Amino acid sequence: MISSGQDKYLLIPDKVFDGEVMHNGWVVLIEGNRIIKVGQRSTLSDLEGVTEIKMEGHTLIPGLIEGHAHILLYPYNQTTWNDQVLKESDAYRVAKATIHAKNTLMAGYTTLRDLGSEGAEYADVGIKKAINDGIIPGPRMLVAGPAIVATGSYGPKGFDPAHAMPLGAQEADGSELFKVVREQIGKGADFVKVYADYRWGIKEETMPTFTLSELQLIVDIATSSGRPVVAHASSPEAIRRAVEAGVETIEHGNYATMESFLLMKKKNVSYCPTLAASESIAQYKGWKKGEDPMPEGIIEKKKAFSNALKSGVSICAGGDVGVFEHGNNVLELELMVEYGMTDLEVLKSATSGNARIFHLNTELGHIKEGFLADIVAVKGDPTKGISVLRHVSWVMKDGIVYKNELGRKE
């Protein structure tokens, strides 16, 4: 932490991206943890006692929002998912997660939606509190807790069936869902995450798990408390059930069809493609991008994403970070451009778009008067090349400056 958050700052960059549109020559006035004024400097009066921060060559953007993260996981090419879940203690995993949280914030991500602790119970709830209490640096978090899976569907698998093994999520079925959904809410889940399908087919192919009525029950119970439900779903049938049941986002959608996306659009459900996870896993399995032919899974994913764009479904920016390195979140945004979106569309998706999808857009995702002071300065113009987001010089969250490398020569 570099500043206390009590000062009044006038930020003077080259440009300001307000979450929707780029503005040349704008300045931003901050007091405490709020944005007080935005616009041309000539329109601002009463600037006495204000600390000016010149940001030559920089663009200000709203703090980025990560749509799909697992703060308690780290790349599977370092330690397999099975070993992270089965062999590592929660204490060890939490120690690593504090570093992940810091790296996320330093990369310009001031908000993160965490999609499940993957066997670490409610450690995500505790990490969120430690960040909010100012004990460790990290992004604002929306957390799922353990997430819910149908009995028998999830891993780790392949052990003597006589023994109960630790699992990556909480099992529940039928009427048990009343209790488990309410229990997860009571223990701190901001939303409920369900696995509507998983690789539990006879040949380990992706097949639906919960029935439509089970998913409807989960949505009924969660929404009674004002919490949304989000679904891991790759197969068209699981997507159909989850969307019909009333979930708000579909995660992965690897085999989603045009019909899937049109249904999602009709029901106002957003698509979180997790392109970076698919590409990372393919590379862990040996794929050399740019040299080897594209693996089947990547071909499918590209097809799904292109149909999503054609359908007009709203796209959430979320990479499934944890599968790849925390702090490298921008990889997802680069792939969204590579797979067919414009730089501007991707930048909107990772700021105002995600804020809207996660119900945060009254305070976050925009540089706007009255909004929370979550602001990032990047060197260059990210609407002319999204990779500019890798050059984060300055990070403010809730009016506090966590990173300041403005003077640094590259």
Residues that bind Zn ion (CB under 5 A): 115, 320
Measured from the CB of residue 320, what is the shortest distance to Zn ion in angstroms? 4
Report the residue number, 323 or 396, with the smaller CB distance to Zn ion. Answer: 323
Measured from the CB of residue 115, what is the shortest distance to Zn ion in angstroms? 4
Measured from the CB of residue 201, what is the shortest distance to Zn ion in angstroms? 20
Report the residue number, 320 or 374, with the smaller CB distance to Zn ion. Answer: 320
**CA–CA gap between residue 390 and residue 397 (Å, rounded):** 18
Measured from the CB of residue 160, what is the shortest distance to Zn ion in angstroms? 28
CA-based nearest residue to 32, from 404, 397, 405, 403: 397
Please name the amino acid found at residue 295: P
Report the residue number, 115 or 250, with the smaller CB distance to Zn ion. Answer: 115
CA-based nearest residue to 316, from 279, 270, 278: 270
Start-to-end CA span in the chain (Å): 23
Neighbours of 310 (CB within 10 A): 12
Report the residue number, 9 or 81, with the smaller CB distance to Zn ion. Answer: 81
Kindly tell me the burial class for residue 391, based on how many C-beta atoms sit within 10 Å of its own C-beta (0-12, 13-18, 19 or more). middle
Measured from the CB of residue 114, what is the shortest distance to Zn ion in angstroms? 9
Report the residue number, 115 or 194, with the smaller CB distance to Zn ion. Answer: 115
Report the residue number, 108 or 168, with the smaller CB distance to Zn ion. Answer: 168
Contacts of 140 (CB under 8 A, 6+ apart): 110, 111, 112, 131, 132, 364, 374, 397, 398
Measured from the CB of residue 122, what is the shortest distance to Zn ion in angstroms? 17
